Amino acid sequence: MNAMPPASLYACANAADFPAQAILRLRPDLRSEPVAVLEGRAPLELVCSLNRHARMKGATPGMTRVEAEHIPGLRLLPRSPETEAAAHAVMFECAAQFAPQIEDVSQSSACACVLDITGTEHLFGPSATLARRLRAALAEAGFRASIAISSNFHAVRLKAAASRTISIIPQGEESTALAPLAVSLLGLDEDSAEVFANWGIRTLGELAALPEADLVVRFGGRASQWRDLSRGMLAHTFQPVEAAFALEELCDLDTPVDRVDSLLFVCARMIDCLATRAATHALALASLTLQLALEGRGEYRHVIHPALPTVDRKFLLKLLQLELGAHPPQAAVMQIALSAEAGRPGKVQLGLFAPQTPEPSSLDVTIARLKAIAGEDRVGSPVLEDTHRPGGFHLEGFTPSEASAMPSTVEKHRPRAALRRMRPPLPVRVALRDAKPAFFHNGARNYIVSAAYGPWRTSGCWWSANGWDTEEWDVLADRRGESGTEPVACLLIHDRTQNQWRLEAFYD
């Protein structure tokens, strides 16, 4: 007969040496090096966290900076509370994929959380399967964590803090599983720890074997809690916290960086993390905001808007590369902050007879390259301004528009006159007869005017430096060249403010 499932079931994820893990998760170039994190004021800094390679070199927590500097090859980094806070949010967000209720049990240099996984067997399978999936998800996010599962809240917390792997504690065997663990996991005060050391009590099993009455007489009511903790029997009221979802990544650089390729190396990992986190929520990245803290307390900020929300890492990195190439930071970078706005993955619906439109990602890269060549204000879609000024327009961000409807057969064959403007207009020298253009020369050819219609005068903005006062003439002329005479229709403009003539357009 199968045993009944426990009334409650908990899973704890414990990331030891979290200050070091928070830094290294975004610095893949340092993962194979021995790294130690320092905290405190110089020169009294102490090692608060380190990775496995540093331990193999002989580094230990609590070591002074002077002692650590004598270890060859050891990389010393300052502790970054901002980086840890961002990594803490990412870890809890990752754990929230497996349970909606999470309690923060972080202590000292470890980041830990307990999940209420009661009733999740139908979603994630048995406890061992859930533990493996949870650990794999944390590893993908850049965290090395130990996992413990038990029906007792404190049992999973203590077991996860003491182990480095996956531990499954069957119901009713909590005392046996906790017996080999050190008494120091209880967080005893200095006097109590000294008493237990004098008694020769080193493990939780030895503490649990002591008579409860004698412990209470010696230490008071708290001794009962210690004994229940050691036996995995202490009750707990779950206090869940809400895991906030914010697509933000932050990385402090140990040395100033002034090379764009070095920045992109770190940004590539940050974009990968943001895209992965968004994809787990069935979302995409609608925009990226890059904020750089520059040497000398300067700041740099730039926003990238892809045509459609996407999780394509290479495409987003290419856009970032082009933007940094067009607008490089003016000083060395000390800190990188990358945030994103989530959006629904973009979908493009093509019509059956509509012309093929450019792929959004390719279009974004092309526009970014054109801006780098021509200038930020010289690429976009022209939009007419609400003004009487001839040719008044400005540029806005380019977006592909829907194909216009096909003209009817009647409209298609209707003859029309087209005005082909010169970009830029050609300056000309004009000779007048009876206050009308009679002859003009553009520097290459001569034009003899046979008929002139006008002038049509326009003016405006006389109160500003952008004012204009022009006369327009529609003229029929004979253009003379080596091949003979050719009749043309064109538009001449007389700029009265500067007393200049220019050939503005031809009628086709």
The residue that leads in pLDDT, 484 or 347, is 484
Single-letter amino acid, residue 145:
A
Q: Which helix (H) or strand (E) holds 394?
A: strand 393-396
Question: What is the Cα–Cα distance from 310 to 319, expressed in whole angstroms?
Answer: 12
Q: What share of the chain is helix, strand, coil (3-state, %, to 5)?
A: 30, 30, 35
CATH topology of domain 251-343: Dna Ligase; domain 1 (3.30.1490)
Q: Residue range 401-405: average pLDDT?
A: 47
Per DSSP, helices labelled H in 171-220 are 174-178, 190-199, 204-208, 212-219
pLDDT of residue 406: 47
Is residue 424 reached through a cis peptide bond, with omega within 30 degrees of 0 on the bond before it?
yes
The residue that leads in pLDDT, 345 or 36, is 36
Q: Residue range 242-265: average pLDDT?
A: 87
- The answer to whether the beta carbons of residues 174 and 150 sit under 8 Å apart is yes
- The answer to whether the beta carbons of residues 150 and 159 sit under 8 Å apart is yes
- What confidence tier does 409 reach under pLDDT thresholds 50, 70, 90? very low
- What confidence tier does 383 reach under pLDDT thresholds 50, 70, 90? confident
Task: With a cut of 60, say whether residue 35 has pLDDT above it.
Answer: yes
Task: With a cut of 90, say whether residue 367 has pLDDT above it.
Answer: no
Task: With a cut of 80, say whether residue 109 has pLDDT above it.
Answer: yes
What is the 8-class DSSP label of residue 402? Answer: P
C-alpha to C-alpha distances, 43 to 20, 66, 68, 203, 485, nearest whole angstrom: 20, 8, 12, 37, 90
Q: Residue range 334-356: average pLDDT?
A: 76
Task: With a cut of 80, say whether residue 185 has pLDDT above it.
Answer: yes
Task: With a cut of 80, say whether residue 81 has pLDDT above it.
Answer: yes
Task: With a cut of 80, say whether residue 7 has pLDDT above it.
Answer: no
The DSSP string of 463-504 is: TSTT-EEEEEEEEEEEEEETTEEEEEEEEEEEETTTTEEEEE
Q: Residue range 80-102: average pLDDT?
A: 92
- The answer to whether the beta carbons of residues 333 and 258 sit under 8 Å apart is yes
- The answer to whether the beta carbons of residues 348 and 359 sit under 8 Å apart is no
pLDDT of residue 394: 82
Distance from chain centroid for Cα 356: 31
Q: Which of 307, 269, 266 minimizes the C-alpha distance to 286?
A: 307
- Output the six-digit token pair for 238: 């779950």
Question: What is the Cα–Cα distance from 435 to 452, expressed in whole angstroms?
Answer: 10
Q: Which of 54, 80, 79, 86 minimizes the C-alpha distance to 67?
A: 54
Class of domain 10-231: alpha beta
The residue that leads in pLDDT, 406 or 377, is 377
Q: Residue range 251-255: average pLDDT?
A: 87
Mean model confidence pLDDT for the chain: 87
Give the whole-number percent of the chain exceeding pLDDT 70.
Answer: 91
What is the 8-class DSSP label of residue 505? Answer: E
Question: What is the Cα–Cα distance from 379 to 370, expressed in whole angstroms?
Answer: 7
What is the 8-class DSSP label of residue 401? Answer: P
Distance from chain centroid for Cα 32: 25
Question: What is the Cα–Cα distance from 440 to 431, expressed in whole angstroms?
Answer: 6
Q: What is the pLDDT of residues 270-304, one digit of tens each?
A: 999 999 999 888 899 989 999 999 988 889 999 98
Q: Which of 360, 375, 372 minimizes the C-alpha distance to 321?
A: 372
Angle between helices 260-280 and 313-326 (to 10 degrees): 140
Give the whole-number percent of the chain exceeding pLDDT 90.
Answer: 51
**What sign for the dihedral angle of Cα 350, 352, 358, 359?**
positive
Task: With a cut of 50, say whether residue 160 has pLDDT above it.
Answer: yes
Question: What is the Cα–Cα distance from 377 to 365, expressed in whole angstroms?
Answer: 17
Task: With a cut of 80, say whether residue 191 has pLDDT above it.
Answer: yes
pTM value is 0.72
Q: What is the pLDDT of residues 171-182, one digit of tens each?
A: 999 999 999 999
Q: Residue range 415-433: average pLDDT?
A: 85
- Least confident segment among 35-49, 241-255, 445-459: 241-255
pLDDT of residue 404: 43
Question: What is the Cα–Cα distance from 257 to 8, expressed in whole angstroms?
Answer: 50
Q: Where are the domains of the chain?
A: 10-231, 251-343, 419-507
